[in-house]
Copies of this chain bind each other. A is one copy, B any other.
């Protein structure tokens, strides 16, 4: 078995209290004792048990993270940023990948609680009633990252989805498009679903572009649904000349569908995505997208979390709204009357 503090104490000829003191960098330990202890630690290859420490300190330095889909380019990037920031601050991540599996989510939330994590970061917003009531009972910081649940007990780190969708749509109108389709997400989502949809509608309204219901479809943010819905849109008569998809994944799915139908982006149809994920640079043509500050989002989520953990009094009571940015690449072009 791994050596324990007692072994170190014996070897160094001091009490465990003294060993504990040098372990925790306290002053008030004579230099010679400190040296002896350090040597004993070295020789034994001793590393204190985080488990035992957590028990007495009542702090685990663990943060539970709930991700909807690890393989998504958006979530894996934000998770990566979360991990980096946590690591920098000596926090560790317990990661749960829930694939639309409410039972698994509830089970993990229970595990997080049993593990006595110091805080929980959640990246999806379709909370079941059971889950909602469970997390309401927890008395640890819970922060939503990149999404916002309906109840306002918890803080979110997000962008202004309405504005972002508005700006994305407006960009297409400014290119002269008048038949602009919309690939939306789940309307039960307060954030990405509803706000982005309303942003799209209002932008068209304000720009005096006709809203055509047949051009509006809802999916699940994933590539496949983008592909399938695009197929439907291509059947519209006349077909749209531009498309705003509320995720890059959907946008890429749509691009692929268009390609498979022997049409061209952006010549036949302009496309703008949403998220600014790595995909935008991977596809051809490169995808113009409304970019979320993914890196910052992860970083700020963790920093806020740590602030909440270490100083509950000063923790923010309001959502943190980050800026969005249109990044123009090659998937949109001005609408040409003559074709």
Contacts and interface: CB of A to CB of B under 8 A. Distances in A.
B282 A50 contact: no
A60 B94 CA distance: 13
A48 interface: yes
Contacts of A279: 282
B50 A116 contact: yes
A84 B101 CA distance: 11
How big is the A interface, by class?
A: 35 or more
A301 interface: no
Given A50-B114, A55-B52, A70 B79 contact: yes
Contacts of A179: none
A79 to B, nearest CB: 6
Interface stretch (A105-113, A158-166, A183-191, A204-212): A105-113
A290 to B, nearest CB: 20
Contact of A92 (B45, B94, B104, B283): B94
A71 B115 contact: no
A230 B47 CA distance: 48
Interface string A86-106: 010000111111000000100
A129 to B, nearest CB: 16
Contacts of A284: 255-256, 259-260, 284
A37 to B, nearest CB: 18
Count identical subunits in the complex.
2
Interface in A2-57: 2, 45, 47-52, 54-55
Contacts of A111: 50, 92
A234 to B, nearest CB: 16
A77 interface: yes
Given A48-B114, A76-B70, A108 B87 contact: yes
Interface in A193-240: 223
Contacts of A77: 70-71
Contacts of A108: 87
Interface string A48-88: 11111011000010000000011101001101100110010
Given A71-B73, A84-B97, 9 more contacts: A45-B137, A48-B114, A50-B111, A52-B55, A73-B73, A83-B96, A92-B94, A256-B282, A282-B283
13 contacts: A49-B55, A51-B115, A51-B116, A71-B278, A76-B76, A83-B97, A84-B97, A87-B96, A87-B107, A92-B115, A282-B282, A282-B283, A283-B283
